[in-house]
Copies of this chain bind each other. A is one copy, B any other.
Amino acid sequence: MLERKPSLTDQAKSYIKQRIVNDEFEGGRIPSETVLANELGVSRTTIRDALSRLENEGTVYRRQGSGTYVNNPGLQIKTRLEEIWSYESVLRDHGYTPSTRILTVRTSAADETQAENLRIEVGEEIVTVEKLFLEDQDPVILAVNQVPRKLLSVPFVESDWHQPIYEFLWRHGQQRLGYYLSEIVPVIVDRKIGSALGVDVGQPLISFSEIGFSEENEPILMACSYIRDDLLRLRLIRRRT
């Protein structure tokens, strides 16, 4: 029935998600875990893992004793905050065909904040890149990335920064980006941001101030992103824990 690799759980999840998207379930009611397990020829545990993940993503909800159901409000969310990994794919999820533009690439000496965040010495070289994500010709996101120069062992040219940052870090620094620790900061658009994003000076804007950690749990990236929330709505689901 199913092959291993990708994992049975992943396949089960995709299978169920696809049927949800196709609206194949009468009244939003998803078959019982036992039925799904038999249908796919896997154990109930595997199905439960798949459903748990769909529940966490807000795709379904479960009621003990009753059943598992499609969660329509959750389906309408295009961008879930915790799941943003690259802005390119966020824009694609919104039905856009994004492009990127490199505004500047420069090298400078780390100040105290940067040194502390990136666990390097004050004065060490830092490469700063300003990158714009556009839908058609409309700028949607301005990202300012800062990477310690010493991590970038493989030579690069300006156009290399067009690739997603995690890919760039892997190819030019053998660094695997593991997760971001993000802080949400409200800002007022100044002239620089305004001209880059094409919004009026004085407007309020959401920004992410974040540190990217490698899979080895070392900070390898500082980033600050400014988002045109009129073009990209940021949503999340909050639950009791």
Question: Number of A interface residues, CB 8 Å?
Answer: 47
Expressed in whole angstroms, the minimum distance between the Cβ of A190 and any Cβ of chain B is 11
Tell me if A234 counts as interface (CB < 8 A to partner B): yes
Interface string of A64-87 (1 = CB under 8 A from B): 000001010110010001111100
A204 and B180 within 8 A (CB): no
Instruction: Give the docked Cα–Cα distance between A185 and B234 (Å).
Output: 8
Instruction: Give the docked Cα–Cα distance between A234 and B186 (Å).
Output: 11
Interface string of A174-196 (1 = CB under 8 A from B): 00011111111111100000000
- How many copies are assembled? 2
B238 and A182 within 8 A (CB): yes
Tell me if A240 counts as interface (CB < 8 A to partner B): yes
A205 and B204 within 8 A (CB): yes
Tell me if A241 counts as interface (CB < 8 A to partner B): yes
Interface string of A218-235 (1 = CB under 8 A from B): 010000000001000111
Residues of B within 8 A of A21 (CB): none
Contact of A179 among B180, B217, B237 (CB under 8 A): B237
Tell me if A5 counts as interface (CB < 8 A to partner B): no
Tell me if A236 counts as interface (CB < 8 A to partner B): yes
Contact of A213 among B73, B82, B182 (CB under 8 A): B73
Q: Apart from A73-B217, A74-B181, A184-B206, list 6 A-B contacts with CB within 8 A.
A: A73-B181, A77-B181, A81-B81, A85-B238, A179-B238, A181-B237
Interface residues of A (CB under 8 A from B): 58, 61, 63, 69, 71, 73-74, 77, 81-85, 166, 177-188, 202-206, 210-211, 213, 215, 217, 219, 229, 233-241
A sample of 23 cross-chain residue pairs with beta-carbon separation below 8 angstroms, ordered by A number, consists of A71-B217, A73-B217, A73-B219, A81-B184, A81-B238, A82-B237, A84-B238, A85-B238, A85-B239, A166-B240, A179-B238, A179-B240, A182-B235, A183-B234, A184-B184, A184-B236, A186-B186, A186-B187, A186-B205, A188-B202, A188-B203, A206-B206, A210-B238
